[in-house]
Structure 1
Amino acid sequence: MGKKTDRSKTIEQLEGIEWPDPPSEGTGLVKAVHNLRKRPINLLTAWEMSRLIGQDVGIPWLLPAALDILRETATDQPLGGFYDDDLLTAVLTRRAPVWHSNPQCAADLKEIISLLEDISPNIRENVQSFFLEADMGVTD
């Protein structure tokens, strides 16, 4: 995840894998994920990114983009600005291997969390779990 991604590309283009159409009996989430993979990353909303990240789709490309959004909006949060808890939750709840293979993203998320003055009680447990997951197996 170290190199800069062309965010005008879709997840399908970046992966080089075109998924078949979703099954007709698929859930709304399944259909949404299939469709969102076909949209350029720079056109995805924070909510759409949270849906994809929550399903572990496009993590190498979406995680840095999501962290950029979270960083940009963190400074507005103390001023009463909108802060996307859904996106934060989706990012926070990725498992330890994501953070271990992307230590810079983990460090960036820790920095973003430190900027937040008012973390929802519903998200505090996710923050604690993230710190445990991100630090698991790390030695000084």
Structure 2
Amino acid sequence: MSESQVNPDDLSVEQIEDNPWGEPPPGSTRLVESVHRLRRRPVRDLEPEDLRVLISQQVGLDPLVPRVLTQLEVDPLLEGDFYPGDVLVAVLKVPAAYWSAHPDQRTRLERVIASVDEPDLKADIETFHAANPM
């Protein structure tokens, strides 16, 4: 397969962004070590919890948010390791500047939010709307 035929899902966030971080600094927390490791994993191999971690740390947003939105469109309460909807909550905390730069993805997220009828997520959704007025 030529370079022009590489499937983006076969690449890692590190490869997509063309920004190798190297090894985590000595004495790093488990979270920092995890983020470094997950950035090197092919995107297709990232589980919901991996996506939740990376997005909550605002790492790899450009390649990962569209992928996560596709998964949330199928299952708005996609669950990482904590509770149903924790992946959506991570997405809701993506900075407003990202949504301003990607209005098509904001529209997709609004459709996901509209399909959620989960009282436990209401405060997170309200916070998102307050920080990201239409």
TM over 0.5: yes
- Equivalence map 1:7-22=2 (5 Å): 7-22=9-24
Structure 1 residue 7, shift from structure 2 partner = 1.8
- Equivalence map 1:34-45=2 (5 Å): 34-45=36-47
TM-score normalised by L of structure 1:
0.81
Select 1:26's aligned residue among 25, 28, 32.
28
Please identify, of 50-59 and 89-98, the stretch whose mean Cα deviation from structure 2 is larger. 89-98
Structure 1 residue 129, shift from structure 2 partner = 1.6
The residue identity in structure 1 corresponding to 2:111 is E
- Measured in 2, the distance between the counterparts of 1:120 and 1:63 equals 24
The change in CA–CA distance for 1:37 and 1:125 in structure 2 (over 3 A counts) is same
Gaps of 5+ in 1: 78-82
- Equivalence map 1:90-129=2 (5 Å): 90-117=90-117, 119-121=118-120, 123-129=121-127
Matched positions, count? 123
Q: What RMSD over aligned residues (CA atoms) do the two structures have, in Å?
A: 1.5
In the alignment, what sits opposite 1:53? Answer: 55
Point out which structure has higher relative CO (alpha carbons under 8 A, 6+ apart): 1
Identity value in percent: 29
Structure 1 residue 132, shift from structure 2 partner = 2.3
Indicate the SS of the match to 2:59.
coil
Gaps of 5+ in 2: 1-6, 80-84
